Amino acid sequence: MDIKTIITQSEGRRLEFKETMPKRSDLAKTVIAFANDAGGDIIIGIGDKPRAVIGLPEVELVSMEEQISDIIYSRCYPGILPEITFLSVADKHLIKVTVYRGSMPPYYIKEKGKLQGTYIRVGSSNRLADESIITELERRKRNVSFDSELVSDKLAEALKTDPFASIFNEKTGKELSKQTLKKLELTKENHGVIYPTNALVLFSDDELRNSLFHYAKVECARFKGISEY
């Protein structure tokens, strides 16, 4: 997408405009929020109200690029490597900072630490992440889904799963055996002991479900075919 098309868009999850060089803290927060989410572009030299190409002094472009690199290097952790490019629109100069989705989340402001310095993107704004979101970002780094996380509060064999086992048998014609539970990652072994995962607890009719996930609601959908419509 060319820059003329980009600047006609609204700010949002993956796009932010700045008329001038942003404050150090604002730039760091946006870079971190983009890295923790789906990535995004910061375009400097664009006025917001009304949307217009203001441009930046050509003689300051290199020093601004160095300043941006220094802010990101010194304030963001783990390290974030953006792509910084110079653009021109109608003889006016812009700087585009492209941040890619990070592979080592959560990213946070170094001096504030993980709990007070992790930001996420919500619409067109940066929001401080709470502990549950930080935990989810850490799961993403480990490539572990919430469903497959082990629950050590009760042994798998002690969990009340009869209603779920009956439905499973009715729909698949198979028994919900120990091997099936393991294959579906509904149970996991830890030090020789078999525990349920979050998914099995959610499927169960056990009091543990009410104590851990009293707010949860499980909904399923079946799609016909592979076409989008």
Contact between 28 and 129 (Cβ < 8 Å): no
> The domain containing residue 215 runs over which residues?
145-229
Tell me how crowded residue 45 is: count the other CB atoms within 10 A of its CB: 26
Contact between 68 and 45 (Cβ < 8 Å): no
Q: What is the pTM of this model?
A: 0.71
156 lies in the same domain as 216? yes
Residue at which a domain ends, from 142, 160, 186: 142
| Least trusted range by pLDDT, from 99-103, 128-132, 225-229 | 225-229
Centroid of chain to Cα 98: 17
How far apart, in whole angstroms, are the C-alpha atoms of residue 176 and residue 193? 19
How far apart, in whole angstroms, are the C-alpha atoms of residue 131 and residue 220? 28
15 lies in the same domain as 118? yes
pLDDT at 227: 64
The 3-state DSSP class for residue 21 equals: coil
- Tokens at residue 47, please? 């006025």
Residue at which a domain ends, from 142, 177, 193: 142
Residue range 102-147, pLDDT digits in tens? 999 999 999 999 999 999 999 999 999 999 999 989 988 888 788 8
